[in-house]
């Protein structure tokens, strides 16, 4: 049992007793009063309904035979109230017959107690119904939290997609690049047997692979010609910027590998940390191949798109130099 469940189960249970007979109320007070139980009393149906609405009890003990408004009508009104509809109702009656119980069930009762009370029976009944009610509340809370969490995740992922589109729009030469490389990276990851709980982080990382370029001045990022050595030094900072920004966001900590490491090379000549071989995270090694493959196949103002066979030849030639040899073989075998 987790801590949240323990807290809910240890809270004082509120039991509302609706009965017009003082002796019955007094008897139930003696039988049910405990440290973890708060007893509430109403002497008629109208007052009982008002108290139920105000206190939201964990269970209601309801006398069947009362003047003005009998227990059947009170139970029907409880069940028609959206806020009270799920509160357990135990009907109290001196009538131990089939018709009374059937009518009570039709009105919405969950259980019955017959006067005179058996002290052990009533305590067990109340204990069991409270336990069931508490766990139902726990499950309802979990369902609500699960739904809220799912909605938040969806909103976060839509935000990430928006960021990636903004990056592509900033540099129209690469428009559509992010979506293409993300889809292909996911395809490669699935071929490698990577599980769904990891795939979600790979997808986010691929979408955000160039997020660090937001820190690169337009004069460098959009320069039509070759970059100077000083300009390259600035350009090579974009994975570092990505790491610094994303590491501050708990939700994206597990998606940092691709934005931070996709410019590392298998032979250690990449940047920003000159990682070598399997020091480079697997997701970044996958993405590096896909990124180059898509870039070479795309039209640029300063060069034509390369034919597919030449792109594949280039990737094969970089086997063990720029790229993981095993991943190159898998890529060339499966990607068309």
Answer whether residue 125 shows pLDDT above 70.
Answer: yes
Task: Please report the pLDDT score of residue 8 as a whole number.
Answer: 39
pTM of the model: 0.59
Mean pLDDT, rounded, of the chain? 86
Residues 253 and 130 grouped into a single domain: no
Residues 194 and 317 grouped into a single domain: yes
Residues 136 and 154 grouped into a single domain: no
Total domains in the chain come to 2
Answer whether residue 214 shows pLDDT above 70.
Answer: yes
- Mean pLDDT along residues 267-296: 96
Residues 13 and 92 grouped into a single domain: yes
Q: pLDDT of 149-173, one tens digit each?
A: 777 777 777 878 777 777 776 665 5
Considering only 33-37, 84-88, 222-226, 327-331, which range has the smallest mean pLDDT?
Answer: 33-37
Read off the pLDDT band of 146 (50, 70, 90).
Answer: confident
- Mean pLDDT along residues 301-315: 85
Give the CATH number for residue 192: 1.10.3210.10
Residues 186 and 270 grouped into a single domain: yes
Task: Please report the pLDDT score of residue 198 as a whole number.
Answer: 93
Residues 117 and 159 grouped into a single domain: no
- Mean pLDDT along residues 270-286: 96
Residues 174 and 107 grouped into a single domain: no
Read off the pLDDT band of 3 (50, 70, 90).
Answer: very low
Residues 78 and 165 grouped into a single domain: no
Residues 71 and 119 grouped into a single domain: yes
Most confident of 63-72, 120-129, 277-286, 302-311: 277-286
Residues 124 and 158 grouped into a single domain: no
- The domain in which residue 119 lies consists of 3-142
Q: Which of 121, 142, 163 is the last residue of a domain?
A: 142
Q: Which of 142, 175, 200 is the last residue of a domain?
A: 142
Distance (Å, rounded) from C-alpha 132 to C-alpha 171? 59
Q: pLDDT of 60-91, one tens digit each?
A: 999 988 988 999 999 999 999 988 888 889 99
CB 6 within 8 A of CB 30: no
- Mean pLDDT along residues 53-57: 91
Answer whether residue 336 shows pLDDT above 90.
Answer: no
Q: Which of 126, 142, 158 is the last residue of a domain?
A: 142
Answer whether residue 50 shows pLDDT above 80.
Answer: yes
- Mean pLDDT along residues 107-127: 83
Task: Please report the pLDDT score of residue 1 as a whole number.
Answer: 41
pLDDT: is 10 or 44 the higher one? 44
Q: pLDDT of 15-37, one tens digit each?
A: 999 999 999 899 888 888 876 78
Task: Please report the pLDDT score of residue 47 as a whole number.
Answer: 95
Task: Please report the pLDDT score of residue 138 as a whole number.
Answer: 65
Give the CATH number for residue 119: 3.40.50.2300
Residues 181 and 328 grouped into a single domain: yes
> What percent of the chain is modeled with pLDDT above 90?
48
Residues 157 and 305 grouped into a single domain: yes
Answer whether residue 5 shows pLDDT above 50.
Answer: no
Answer whether residue 268 shows pLDDT above 70.
Answer: yes
């Amino acid at each position: 049992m987790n801590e949240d469940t323990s807290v809910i189960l240890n809270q004082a249970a509120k039991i509302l007793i609706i009965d017009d007979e003082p002796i019955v109320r007094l008897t139930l007070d003696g039988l049910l009063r405990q440290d973890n139980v708060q007893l509430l009393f109403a002497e008629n149906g109208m007052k009982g309904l008002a108290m139920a609405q105000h206190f939201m009890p964990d269970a209601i003990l309801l006398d069947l035979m009362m003047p003005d408004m009998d227990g059947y009508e009170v139970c029907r009104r409880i069940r028609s109230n959206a806020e009270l509809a799920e509160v357990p109702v135990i009907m109290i009656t001196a009538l131990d017959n089939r018709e009374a119980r059937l009518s009570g069930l039709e009105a919405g009762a969950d259980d019955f107690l017959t006067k005179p009370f058996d002290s052990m029976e009533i305590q067990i009944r109340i204990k069991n119904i409270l336990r069931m009610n508490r766990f139902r509340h726990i499950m309802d809370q979990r369902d609500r939290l699960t739904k809220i969490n799912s909605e938040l995740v969806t909103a976060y992922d839509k935000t990430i997609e928006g960021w990636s589109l903004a990056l592509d729009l900033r540099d129209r030469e690469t428009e559509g690049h992010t979506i293409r490389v993300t889809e292909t990276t996911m395809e490669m990851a699935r071929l490698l047997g990577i599980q769904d709980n990891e795939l979600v982080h790979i997808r986010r990382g691929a979408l955000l692979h160039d997020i660090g370029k937001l820190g690169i001045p337009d004069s460098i990022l959009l320069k039509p010609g070759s970059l100077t050595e000083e300009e390259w030094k600035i350009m090579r900072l974009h994975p570092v910027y990505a790491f610094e920004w994303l590491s501050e966001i708990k939700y994206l900590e597990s998606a940092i590998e691709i934005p931070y490491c996709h410019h590392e090379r298998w032979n250690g000549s990449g940047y920003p940390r000159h990682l070598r071989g399997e020091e480079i995270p697997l997701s970044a090694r996958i993405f590096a191949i896909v990124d180059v493959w898509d870039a070479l196949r795309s039209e640029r103002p300063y060069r034509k798109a390369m034919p597919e066979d030449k792109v594949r030849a280039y990737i094969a030639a970089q086997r063990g130099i720029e790229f993981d040899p095993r991943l190159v073989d898998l890529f060339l075998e499966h990607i068309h």
